[in-house]
């Protein structure tokens, strides 16, 4: 089997990065974002990128870092708050934004990865999201046609993988990482730990190795929290 | 009664959440929006099992963690740290919205800027202001079995929010089943029927309410 494990994020992206790519990126807020790979994309200097990603990071975190260096031409996202540089570029017209409802965005990635170029959904019927899209009636209800996303590259953050690329995620850090991985022509995954082949339970693989072309270990991680909320007393 | 009894007293934010919690049933799977809807979780009756869904990929949201339990990999859709329960389950975003869009979630409670008398809802953008996006709101109103809106009856400038027709860009068309405000509760049995006033908050008269509402509703 071809070697999937690379020594660094830079090495894992070699020969894959170029200007104008469509990149599907995992993460929800700062949870489960492929930070090592995003740093490497920034350092490579490629520009004119389109990112399909639920969020655009925050100032100086996640995709926010690539906005600062003006490497991003367009975002396909469902929510882009909490980011001043994003706001500045968006309002000045430097950055193009396509808003896609969160579930529609996830399904567009999943569909692209499943070889489905379009699907009909109720989400967004009668709203601005439906503008310019085909409307079709099924069983007396209206649905709109949404397009699958076929990305040139997927950037994914996971918990553990074996060297064949079988991947396991942890808690809510799974989020968009799975659909993003599915829709990338090339999928690069950064993990916290590589474990020996045979130690992951085959019944509990979240992303089978067929979807994963390249792997790196990104540890140690200092995971960021956007809103640290705690309780002091016991809740029943 | 005092000379001030013409001033509508109404419900507090927490009382509105408690009123919304009365719509919960044992065994329900529920998605709560950000703001007042989040408070509904504090009013789930002790004898009832209600499983909360977080659209970033979790069923069975637990309470906020203690300082020791904080985990950056465990957040809710508002990006706040949370905890898990013995029956919690995790899944990816496509699976999460499959259960939302596919009608597997029983109830969602959402905030709104406007609700129209025909059940339209607007809660994601104000023209001229920076658009942050709709997040999962459009998917939720399109797919969840029952949609409850909890909102202040009037905007900060005093203008009504339950109105004949939405003026802001829509989140969903003809989707709202129940509206709970600080003054009253409106409900409709199906999406072809008009809303009916079913409850007034303490100290609020039908006349108070009518004066602050432009939407048409049955009494």
B2 has pLDDT over 90: no
Q: What are phi and psi of B52, to 5 degrees?
A: -90, 135
Q: What CATH number is given to the structural domain containing A49?
A: 3.40.1080.10
A122 pLDDT more than 90: yes
Residue owning tokens 């925050």: A58
pLDDT bracket for residue B127 (50, 70, 90): confident
Banded model confidence at residue B128, pLDDT cuts 50, 70, 90: confident
Cite the beta strand spans of chain B per DSSP E: 29-32, 51-54, 58-61, 84-90, 107-110, 114-116, 121-122, 146-150, 162-163, 178-180, 184-187, 196-200
Residues of B in contact with A172 (CB under 8 A): 54, 56-58, 73-76, 90
Mutation to test the A interface, candidates B62, B112, B134, most A Cβ within 10 Å: B134
**Residue B83 within any structural domain of the chain:** yes
Q: What pLDDT, in 10s, does the model give residues A143-173?
A: 999 999 999 999 999 999 999 999 999 999 9
Q: CB contact, 8 Å: A157 with chain B?
A: no
CB-based contact A158:A35 (threshold 8 Å): no
Distances from the Cα of B31 to the Cα of B34, B136, B192, angstroms: 10, 11, 24
Q: Give strand pairing partners of A85.
A: none
- Look up tokens 């430097």; give the residue: A94
Using a pLDDT cut of 90, give the percent of chain A over it.
92
- Would residue B219 count as lying in a domain? no
The answer to whether position A232 is within a domain reads no
Q: Is pLDDT above 70 for A15?
A: yes
The closest of B62, B98, B99 to B80, measured between CA atoms, is B62
Work out the pLDDT band at A83, boundaries 50, 70, 90: confident
The band of A81, judged by pLDDT with boundaries at 50, 70 and 90, is confident
Please state, rounded to an integer, the average pLDDT across all residues of chain A: 96
Those of residues 56-85 in A touching chain B at CB distance below 8 A are 77-81
B44-54 mean pLDDT: 96
| pLDDT given at position B129 | 84
Band of residue B23 on the pLDDT scale cut at 50, 70, 90: very high
Mean pLDDT of A166-181: 98
Predicted pLDDT at A235 = 53
The pTM score is 0.96
- Mean pLDDT, chain B, whole residue set: 94
Q: Would residue A227 count as lying in a domain?
A: no
**Mean pLDDT (whole number) for A91-108:** 96
Determine, yes or no, domain membership for B180: yes
Q: Can you give the CATH number for the domain in which B118 is found? A: 3.40.1080.10
Question: pLDDT, tens digit, for every residue of B54-111?
Answer: 999 999 999 999 999 999 999 999 999 999 999 999 999 999 999 999 999 999 999 9
- The whole-angstrom distance between A175's CA and the closest CA on chain B is 4
At residue A233, the pLDDT reads 66
pLDDT at B1: 42
According to DSSP, the β-strands at B178-180 and B184-187 are antiparallel
Q: Exposed, middle or buried: residue B203 (CB in 10 Å: 0-12, 13-18, 19+)?
A: middle
Q: Domain span at residue A92? A: 9-217
CA distances to A13, A23, A66, A67, B57 from A47, rounded to whole Å, are 15, 12, 9, 10, 32
Within a 10 A sphere around the Cβ of A70, how many other Cβ atoms?
13
- Cβ pair A157, A165 in contact under 8 A: no
Q: Cβ contact (<8 Å) for A124 and B67?
A: no
How many structural domains are present in chain A? Answer: 1
**Integer Cα distance of A170 and B69 in angstroms:** 15
- Per-residue pLDDT band for B130 (boundaries 50, 70, 90) equals confident
Give the span between the Cα atoms of B58 and A27, in whole angstroms: 14
Residue B52 lies in a domain: yes
pLDDT at A59: 87
Q: What percent of chain B has pLDDT over 70?
A: 96
CA distances from B66 to A229, B70, B165, B182 (A): 9, 7, 45, 32
Domain count for chain B: 1
Domain that holds residue B70: 3-211
- A125, B91: Cβ pair inside 8 Å? no
């Amino acid at each position: 089997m071809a070697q999937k494990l690379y020594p660094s994020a830079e090495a894992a992206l070699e020969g894959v990065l170029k200007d104008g790519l469509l990149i599907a990126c995992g993460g929800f807020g700062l949870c489960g974002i492929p930070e090592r790979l995003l740093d490497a994309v920034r350092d490579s200097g490629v520009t004119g990128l389109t990112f399909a990603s639920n969020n655009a990071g925050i100032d100086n975190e996640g995709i926010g870092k690539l906005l600062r260096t003006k490497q991003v031409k367009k975002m396909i996202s469902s929510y882009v708050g909490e980011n001043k540089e994003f706001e500045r570029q968006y309002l000045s017209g430097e950055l193009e934004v396509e808003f896609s409802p969160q579930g529609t965005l996830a399904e567009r990635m999943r569909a692209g990865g499943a070889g489905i170029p379009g699907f009909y959904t109720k989400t967004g019927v009668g709203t601005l999201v439906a503008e310019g899209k085909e409307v079709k009636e099924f069983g007396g209800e209206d649905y709109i046609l949404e397009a699958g996303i076929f990305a040139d590259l997927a950037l994914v953050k996971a918990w553990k993988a074996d060297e064949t690329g079988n991947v396991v995620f942890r808690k809510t850090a799974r989020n968009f990482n799975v659909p993003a991985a599915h829709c990338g022509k090339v999928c690069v995954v950064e993990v916290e730990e590589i474990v020996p082949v045979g130690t992951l339970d085959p019944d509990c693989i979240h992303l089978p190795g067929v979807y994963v072309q390249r792997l790196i270990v990104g540890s140690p991680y200092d995971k960021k929290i956007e809103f640290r909320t705690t309780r002091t007393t016991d809740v029943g | 009664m005092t000379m001030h009894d013409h001033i509508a007293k109404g419900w507090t934010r927490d009382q509105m959440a408690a009123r919304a919690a009365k719509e919960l049933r044992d065994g329900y799977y529920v998605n709560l929006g950000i703001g007042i809807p989040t408070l509904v979780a504090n009013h789930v009756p002790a004898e009832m099992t209600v499983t909360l869904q977080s659209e970033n990929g979790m069923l069975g949201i637990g309470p906020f963690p203690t300082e020791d339990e904080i985990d950056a990999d465990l957040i809710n859709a508002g990006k706040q740290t949370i905890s898990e329960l013995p029956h919690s389950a995790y899944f990816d975003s496509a699976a999460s919205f499959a259960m939302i869009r596919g009608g597997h979630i029983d109830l969602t409670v959402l905030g709104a800027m406007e609700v129209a008398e025909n059940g339209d809802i607007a809660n994601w953008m104000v023209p001229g202001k920076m658009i942050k996006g709709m997040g999962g709101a459009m998917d939720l109103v399109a797919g969840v079995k029952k949609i409850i809106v909890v909102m202040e009856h009037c905007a900060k400038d005093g203008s009504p929010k339950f109105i004949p027709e939405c003026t802001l860009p829509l989140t969903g068309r003809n989707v709202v089943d129940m509206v709970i405000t600080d003054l009253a509760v409106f409900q409709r049995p199906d999406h072809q029927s008009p809303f009916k006033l079913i409850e007034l908050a303490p100290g609020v008269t039908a006349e108070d309410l009518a004066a602050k509402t432009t939407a048409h509703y049955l009494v």
